[in-house]
């Protein structure tokens, strides 16, 4: 199972773009990269998922370099409500051993006015 490493915390200001990088050096061929957002006392919520290159949805972009040993979650123009913990999760796609989905320590993003 790929182990993930993220910064413990990051600070930003409203309106700025925030990039959070996750390292997963031993990612396997079948592994996908998924990011979650968690607010205090709430369950994590799916943000975005990708396998390679770039994925964009209405809330974020995910950049994955060719070697896939890291990924970067990009949040455009953050607001105070984006203050949360962000987790990256590397999980094998269906057909592989997806029985243990182990989250890393997460990154606490603090957005200030």
Partner 1 sequence: DSGVTQTPKHLITATGQRVTLRCSPRSGDLSVYWYQQSLDQGLQFLIHYYNGEERAKGNILERFSAQQFPDLHSELNLSSLELGDSALYFCASRASGGANTGELFFGEGSRLTVL
User: Does residue 36 interact with partner 1 by CB under 8 A?
Assistant: yes
Nearer to partner 1, 16 or 105 (CB): 105
Considering only 44, 63, 69, 83, the residue that binds partner 1 (CB under 8 A) is 44
CB of 111 to partner 1, least distance (A): 19
User: Does residue 105 interact with partner 1 by CB under 8 A?
Assistant: yes
Considering only 46, 59, 76, 110, the residue that binds partner 1 (CB under 8 A) is 46
CA distances from 96 to 53, 100, 104 (A): 22, 11, 20
3-state secondary structure (DSSP) of residue 110: strand
User: Does residue 86 interact with partner 1 by CB under 8 A?
Assistant: no
Closest CA to 86 of 95, 74, 68: 74
Q: Which residue has the tokens 């709430």?
A: 42
Are the C-beta atoms of residues 44 and 38 closer than 8 Å to each other? Answer: yes
């Amino acid at each position: 199972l790929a182990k993930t490493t993220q910064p413990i915390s990051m600070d930003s200001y409203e309106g700025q773009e925030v990039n959070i990088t996750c390292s997963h050096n031993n990612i396997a061929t079948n592994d996908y990269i998924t990011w979650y957002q968690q607010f205090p006392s709430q369950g994590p919520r799916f943000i975005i998922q990708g396998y390679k290159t770039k994925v964009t949805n209405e809330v974020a972009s995910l950049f994955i370099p060719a070697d896939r040993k890291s990924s970067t979650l990009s949040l455009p123009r953050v607001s105070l409500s984006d203050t949360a913990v962000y987790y990256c999760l590397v999980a094998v796609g269906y057909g592989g051993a997806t029985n243990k989905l182990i989250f890393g320590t997460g990154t606490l993003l603090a957005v200030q006015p």
